Structure 1
Amino acid sequence: MLEIPILGLLDEAPMHGYELRKRLSTLLGAFHAFSYGSLYPSLRRLLEAGWIDEEDAPEAEAGAVGFGTRSRRGKRVYRLTAEGKEHLAALLAEVGPDAYDDEGFGTRLAFFAQTRSEIRLQILEGRKQRMTEQADGMRSSLARTRERLDRYTLQLQEHGLETADREVRWLTELIETERRGPNPGP
């Protein structure tokens, strides 16, 4: 799950682990809970695959821990390799069911600027279809069970339906914008 976001962020700039952790948390926080314990094993896997490399940070960056003391181990800076760039491009070009689910879609959306237009359009259309089916299922279920639900459960189900309908409208707007092409403005 972290492969695309790690490679995508390192494609923007080399970073040390702490900085990468902060950026991942900011980037993915809206879409799912980010486990810090998964970052370093993911980095190790990406290193072993040859998609990223690491080096010691310059002295000024590795710096003092506090009051003139230095850490025993300097910060490691991770950067994307040429193979990593190719792998990221291949990952961003993949379109499938995992690109439409909640976690996959949020991650893919975060890197749409690095994704080709036709791929963005396929992902948006796939997500819209998934959300339309979900909303239709909720509407059908609600029609069958409305009389048997207490008011709180009913409100919860209606809220879920409104949320799905709102996402379908948002996706429709994104698809229309994507089809129009890049903005001619500044």
Structure 2
Amino acid sequence: MYELIVLSLLMSGSAHGYSIIKTMNDIAGPYTKFSHGRLYPLLVRLEEEGSIVTVDNATVEQTKGRPLHSYEITEKGRERFHELMMNITSNVGDYQKLFLHKVQAMEHLEPADRLILLEHYINFCQAHVLYMIAKVEEVLRLQVHGMSPSHNNALVKIMRHVADQWQLELEWANGLLEEERDDPQRLQLVYDHFNIRGGKLQYSCNMPDASLSVY
């Protein structure tokens, strides 16, 4: 997860370790903190693998008398970023948290890739909703062996609460998908890809009538 966060931040431009840590902490919330000791070994590994490079020392910034080395992503790093973004089989248990980081980095993906991730996450949320509903029905029907009625009632409340949370997550993901499909910029990218101009599909040839109206 941390590798993806670092690479996604560098996809927007060069950054030094201090700003990377600050951004990661802002995203993580008040109780999860990333330290220099946690980040810099990762930066060293990414640099050794050729995914990032250190900016020339002539441009090193100074803060409190210490040099702040800036980092830039390489072409190999961009490929690795895309690989991590499109990976939907790893870290399944933490995928809800991971998906939040993917959302903030989706601007660096092609529209078709964004749709793939959003549609997969919608299915992911639906699976959780259906699973929790089925478990609630199972507890109500069979009761948990050896548990008191009060414990079973508490268990049902928790399961319904979790199901409600996943339902909210599902509604949010559906909203993201609708925004993506309605995005005029995405439509323009499709037009540009097929070389559509003024409602006509322009062929790459010199024939004067080589155009086809698009309805």
Tell me the TM-score normalized by structure 1: 0.77
More deviation, 137-146/175-184: 175-184
Please give the residue correspondences for 1:1-186 in structure 2 after superposition, counting only pairs within 5 Å. Answer: 1-27=1-27, 29=28, 33=32, 35-36=34-35, 37-55=37-55, 56=57, 58=59, 61-63=61-63, 65=64, 70-71=65-66, 74-92=67-85, 94-98=86-90, 101-146=95-140, 148-150=149-151, 151-182=153-184
Identity of matched residues, %: 23
How far the C-alpha of 1:43 sits from its partner, in A, is 0.5
Indicate the SS of the match to 2:54: strand
| Shift in CA distance, 149/133, structure 1 to aligned 2, threshold 3 Å | farther
Q: Deviations over 1:86-124 (max 9, x none)?
A: 4334443x2422387223312211201111111111111
Structure number, greater radius of gyration: 2
| Shift in CA distance, 85/183, structure 1 to aligned 2, threshold 3 Å | closer
Q: Deviations over 1:66-85 (max 9, x none)?
A: xxxx34xx222212234323
Q: Deviations over 1:99-150 (max 9, x none)?
A: 8722331221120111111111111111111211111111111122246454
> Is the 8 Å Cα contact of residues 118 and 173 (structure 2) preserved in structure 1?
yes
Q: Which amino acid in the other structure matches residue 180 of structure 1?
A: D
Residue in 1 that maps onto 2:197: none
**Unaligned residue ranges in structure 2 (runs of 5+):** 144-148, 187-215
- Computed over aligned residues only, the root mean square deviation of the Cα atoms, in angstroms, reads 2.7
In the alignment, the residues of structure 2 paired with residue 62 and residue 138 of structure 1 have an alpha-carbon distance, to the nearest angstrom, of 52
In the alignment, the residues of structure 1 paired with residue 83 and residue 91 of structure 2 have an alpha-carbon distance, to the nearest angstrom, of 13
**Unaligned residue ranges in structure 1 (runs of 5+):** none
State how many pairs are aligned.
173
Which structure ranks higher in relative contact order (CA pairs < 8 Å, sequence separation ≥ 6)? 1
| Shift in CA distance, 47/5, structure 1 to aligned 2, threshold 3 Å | same
| Shift in CA distance, 155/90, structure 1 to aligned 2, threshold 3 Å | closer
In the alignment, the residues of structure 1 paired with residue 53 and residue 47 of structure 2 have an alpha-carbon distance, to the nearest angstrom, of 6
